[in-house]
Amino acid sequence: MPDQDSVYQLAGFGRSVSRGSQPAIIVVDFSYGFTDVTYPTAADMSAEIAATKVLTDYARRAEMPVIYSTIAYQPWEIKALPWLRKATGMAALKVGTRLVEIDDRTGKQADDTLIIKHGASAFQGTNLAALLAGAGIDTLVVTGATTSGCVRATVVDAVQNGFNVLVPRDCCADRAVAPHEANLYDMDQKYADVISSKEVLSWLQELADLK
């Protein structure tokens, strides 16, 4: 029986995505509900937040769009959406609570766009695809939490919506190691280039130098 990597290689997966010339960064769900360990839905994401901040600080100075997402529910949504009967912990993420605020350690600025999302993907039920198309973005850098949930779903939707996708591995946080690694593997094989934040930064710097 051939090993997994050979099977994937033969099937044409794992190729390198095109780097475009108009990048944007999305920081998925680094809100307190996911980052402050006093909440049961959270985990310690300090290192990943810090690694992401290096990228977003640079991008903002280079006038590249920086976008944050958060999950925030209104009362009727919680009744209507089947997701909240499977993933009941998410129902705590209510509009107006601290859990839905972006963690201060991200360095989010007042003018950065905030996408209110309602499921796993930052594209589903939001105008993110329209914003990226309208701004002429061709490549999306996806960071945030959790790797095996909202990051994965956002990455899959990004490429399906027509954008090249880069995932800086050290900017993605999760609650447990096995799903984190399994999903980085899937994404790297099928949807995005999973690389280091250092490599992403170098590429952003090259682009900025060209302008």
Name residues contacting a copy of itself, limited to 117-136 (CB under 8 A): 118-121, 124-127, 129-136
**Distance between CA 21 and CA 97 in Å, rounded?**
38
CB of 193 to a copy of itself, least distance (A): 8
Geometric angle at alpha carbon 58, from 26 and 34, rounded to 5°: 40
CB of 78 to a copy of itself, least distance (A): 10
At residue 141, the 3 state secondary structure works out as: strand
Catalytic: 150? Answer: yes
CB of 116 to a copy of itself, least distance (A): 7
DSSP helix, strand, coil percent of the chain (3-state; round to 5): 45, 20, 35
Q: Which of 155, 142, 154, 150 has the alpha carbon at shortest distance from 189?
A: 155
CB of 203 to a copy of itself, least distance (A): 16
Joined tokens for residue 204:
């952003």
Q: Dihedral, CA atoms, 68, 60, 165, 132, nearest 10 degrees?
A: 70
Residue 176 is a binding residue for a copy of itself (CB under 8 A): yes
Identify the active-site residue in 25, 99, 142, 150.
150
Q: Pick between residue 50 and residue 91 the one whose CB is nearest to a copy of itself.
A: 91
Of residues 50, 185, 201, 203, which one binds a copy of itself by CB under 8 A?
185
Of residues 11, 98, 104, 206, which one binds a copy of itself by CB under 8 A?
11
Joined tokens for residue 56:
């977003």
CB of 84 to a copy of itself, least distance (A): 9
Q: Pick between residue 31 and residue 164 the one whose CB is nearest to a copy of itself.
A: 164
Q: Dihedral, CA atoms, 177, 181, 183, 185, nearest 10 degrees?
A: 180
Of 146-165, which residues contact a copy of itself (CB under 8 A)? 148-149, 153, 156-157, 159-165
Which neighbouring-strand residues pair with 21?
none
Of 22-61, which residues contact a copy of itself (CB under 8 A)? 40-41, 43
Of 76-115, which residues contact a copy of itself (CB under 8 A)? 76-77, 79-83, 85-92, 111-114
**Distance between CA 134 and CA 117 in Å, rounded?**
19
Question: Annotated catalytic sites, by residue?
Answer: 150
